[in-house]
Amino acid sequence: MTIIRNFLVAWKLSLKGDKKFYAWLGFLAVLMAIGANAYMDQMNRGLIVTAMRDQVSWGFYISNFTFLVGVAAAAVLLVVPAYLYNFKPIKEIVLFGELLAITAITMCIMFIMADLGQPLRVWHLMPFIGTMNFPSSLLAWDVIVLNGYLVINTAIAFYVLYQVSIGKEYKMSVIGPLIILSIPWAVSIHTVTAFLYNGLSARPFWNASILAPRFLASAFCSGPALMIIIFQLIRKLSEVEIDDRALFKIAELIAYAMAINLFLLGAEIFKEFYSGSIHSEPIKYLYFGIHGKARLVPWIWTATILNIIAFFIFLFPKSRQNFTTLNIACFFMIIGIYIEKGMGLVIPGFIPDPLGEIYEYSPSSTEVLVTIGIWATGALIYTMLLKFSLPIYTGKLSFQKKGVA
């Protein structure tokens, strides 16, 4: 019972803040309301309010989903040095990475829900109460690994917080196995999501074995880049001290991941364009346009250029250890991967469609507004998770002696 009481005390405290805090919450609430309003309209009128059609049957929602799976998977990049190699500067911040993973997975689930034609029937795909098509459907696998990852990270984060709150070191004997499990599991969420596309022989653009490795490589770029930005904000807005060495270590890891990602991209580009079979039409559409239709071309070149610039900034210790250039590189990489792993991956899978038709897609206003609403909800969730855990983490709030300190 004390644990519930303590939780409520911490929760109450997390709702208190200065004017800036309430202004931020208010801002997010407005965006969420706009998103919810757009979603209600979509519920009433159907997905016709999106720009998706039979030819391009997945769009902006699934693109965002794919990007965010990568962000969630990237938490593992902190877990490995923190727990396995006991690298202290990162061990101090791994919690924030786990909270980010929790947030990203929650957003993934929201994007899937926004994309469903019959969201009320979602229980049909749950194990035991529905008729989940396991192990046949990769979507069933994705439901399992994503929800499992959410549970694992929630368990680790809240166990660690609880131990800190009662003034104890966390026991590796208790949490160790879960942490070990979380590492392959993080890899699995991204691999399964890649296989979801990869397994479809109908879509030559996705049906390439390089897809899963590329997914992982790019996930280890965008997720950590996002973390570097967020950690600097945390450092600025709270009393948590974050060692520069932790941020620079993450930046170094990004450089390796991006090198691999660019190499894999090169391998893919070579194979597609040199062999030049009919199966290269989608990638031709993506990079150069086909039959005069080229809506994605400016986007993918923007992404490619941003990624390459960011790579060189991350590559050299001098530029990645300078916060101005580091932050520029992080922004470039987040935007670059958001395009490449979002619309740049999902849309060309559908163009040309299996009967050779080209339907050009760009998101409708409803899709954009719902997406903004979900991102705002994610920001709110992460804010509240931080607000809840920071006082405990810094020792401001402790239940060590007799309840509230």
Partner 1 sequence: MSTRQNKKGMNRRAFLQGAAVGLAGLALPLDNAHASFWDAFFQKHFREMNDAEIKKVISRLENECEEKYKKTVSIGIEKPITGVQFGYGLDLSRCIGCRRCVYACVDENNQSLNPQIHWISVLRFKKGDKWVDLENSEKYYNPEKVPEKDYFYMPVQCQQCENPPCVRACPTQATWKEPDGIVVIDYNWCIGCRYCMAACPYGARRFNWASPNRPAEKINSRTHYLGNRPRYKGVVEKCTFCIQRSRNGRYPACVEACPVGARKFGNLLDPDSEIRYAIEHKRVFRLKEDLNTYPKFYYFFAYGR
Task: Name the residues that contact partner 1, by CB under 8 A.
Answer: 45-48, 50, 52-55, 57-58, 112, 115-125, 128-133, 136-140, 143, 196-197, 200-203, 278, 281, 349-350, 352-357
Q: What does each C-alpha distance from 166 to 11, 92, 96, 160, 400 come to in angstroms?
A: 16, 18, 19, 10, 4
Smallest separation, CB 263 to partner 1 (Å): 28
Nearer to partner 1, 74 or 132 (CB): 132
Residue 70 CA, chain-centre distance (Å), reads: 5
Nearer to partner 1, 139 or 368 (CB): 139
Nearer to partner 1, 1 or 120 (CB): 120
Smallest separation, CB 54 to partner 1 (Å): 6
For the chain, what is the radius of gyration of the CA atoms?
A: 22
Alpha-carbon distance of 323 to 319, in angstroms, equals 8
Smallest separation, CB 112 to partner 1 (Å): 8
Smallest separation, CB 59 to partner 1 (Å): 10
Nearer to partner 1, 2 or 118 (CB): 118
Q: Specify the DSSP element, H or E, that contains 295.
A: none
Smallest separation, CB 356 to partner 1 (Å): 4
Are the beta carbons of 350 and 59 closer than 8 angstroms? no
Q: DSSP labels for 33-58?
A: HHHHHHHHHHHHH-GGGSS--SSS--
Smallest separation, CB 67 to partner 1 (Å): 18
Nearer to partner 1, 91 or 284 (CB): 284
Upstream peptide bond of 81 is cis (omega within 30 degrees of 0): no
Q: Within a 13 Å sphere around the CA of 168, how many CA atoms are in the beta-carbon half?
A: 10
Please enumerate in sequence order all residues whose Cβ is within 8 A of that of 398, keeping only pairs 6 or more positions apart, or say none. Answer: 165, 166, 167, 392, 405
Nearer to partner 1, 121 or 396 (CB): 121
